[in-house]
Chain A
């Protein structure tokens, strides 16, 4: 009886953990409602696998416990599916997410299934232990509370740094030197058409992202990270352009010495404060993180420049 109670409670807690982590945010993914069904079903399977592991061990059914290993293969598949879906949609995006962002999103989806499974495992252990000393309802209550706390802690730990944590983001002046579009002293691109130049000067906003230390400088140099910033900024504020107007595609270009990134953009809503906030809140992609200062060579290079 304890075993069944523990499996059911743990599966449900794991399922609700997955539901809690499944928030539709500005990335508009997973899309409601088909995406929800897919991920909740997988979350339920993950939770069930986590929930049966300990009860199976207790009745010495080692074969059943090894199914947990099988789950890992299943969820690697999730990452692959997410990556393929997003990559297939990529050519249809006005401002693409970029491979770095797609990989990051795919990883999050895989990881969340493990979190759901882990929560279920933890809950089942709590329920089984408590049921040794107290009545079943108390054990269930303890398991639910324990699982909820674990999800809350794990989910909090999964939130990574944002661009605003690594860099100082501020508005900057847009100007032209001949045909060259510049944001302060960083060249963005060569704009040939006079009409496009006038429009960029009139309606464009310049943004400068200045990294705080050598670690941030190396991280922000990553092309995937830059594309992620552009995608987030344009998906939040819109962009005044259409297919076949390459003059107005926002680009992030890097200052070769300082590593500062500059962007000139004609947002759908002209609001500098909102644009800067959108840039600051762009997540730092796991795959773009570099830490040269963690090495001896990096620290030496930081101390002295010939």
Chain B
């Protein structure tokens, strides 16, 4: 099923405040486990997909 809402980066999740910035909502977390959990919840809520940028930043993208 497809949503009509906008595509693009919905949110960013990271432990390091220096890595991110910009327009999308940013969620700071304190551990890897928390990052996983927050990412999963956000993904289910926004119907977006979690992507790992490899530098500790997760982004939620709606395709």
Which residues from chain A sit less than 8 Å from chain B, CB to CB?
A: 91-94, 96, 178-179, 189-196, 243-247
Bound together, the chains give a CA A245 to CA B39 distance in angstroms of 12
Q: Does B1 contact A (CB under 8 A)?
A: yes
- Per the CB 8 Å criterion, the residue count for chain B at the interface is 17
A246 to B1, CA, bound (A): 10
Contact B50 A193 (CB under 8 A): yes
A-B contact count (CB 8 A): 47
Shortest Cβ gap from A1 to chain B (Å): 60
A195 & B47 in contact (Cβ 8 Å cutoff): no
Distance in Å: Cβ of B56 to nearest Cβ of chain A: 11
Q: Is the CB of A192 within 8 A of B50?
A: yes
What residues of chain B have their CB less than 8 Å away from a CB belonging to chain A? 1-2, 36, 39-40, 43-44, 47-52, 54, 58-59, 63
Nearest residue, chain B, Cβ from A193: B50
* Residues on A with beta carbons closer than 8 Å to the beta carbon of B49: 189, 192, 246-247
Q: When chains A and B are docked, how far (Å) is the Cα of A303 from the Cα of B52? A: 42
A94 nearest CB neighbor, chain B only = B1
A193 engages B54 (CB within 8 Å): no
B2 touches A91 (CB 8 A): yes
Question: In the bound complex, what is the Cα–Cα distance between A91 and B2 (angstroms)?
Answer: 6
Assess whether B1 is in contact with A179, with CB atoms less than 8 Å apart. Answer: no
A40 to B11, CA, bound (A): 52
Once bound together, how far apart are the Cα atoms of A195 and B35, in whole Å? 12
| Interface contact B44-A246, CB-CB below 8 Å | no
A180 CB → nearest B CB, Å: 9
Apart from the given pairs A190-B51, A243-B1, 8 other A-B contacts in the complex at a CB distance below 8 Å: A92-B1, A93-B1, A94-B1, A179-B52, A191-B52, A192-B50, A244-B47, A247-B43
A107 to chain B, nearest CB (A): 25
Cβ–Cβ < 8 Å partners of A244 in chain B = 43-44, 47
Nearest chain A CB to B41's CB is how many angstroms away?
11
Q: Please name the 7 residue pairs, one residue from A and one from B, whose CB atoms are nearest each other, closest first.
A: A192-B50, A179-B52, A246-B49, A192-B52, A244-B47, A190-B51, A192-B51
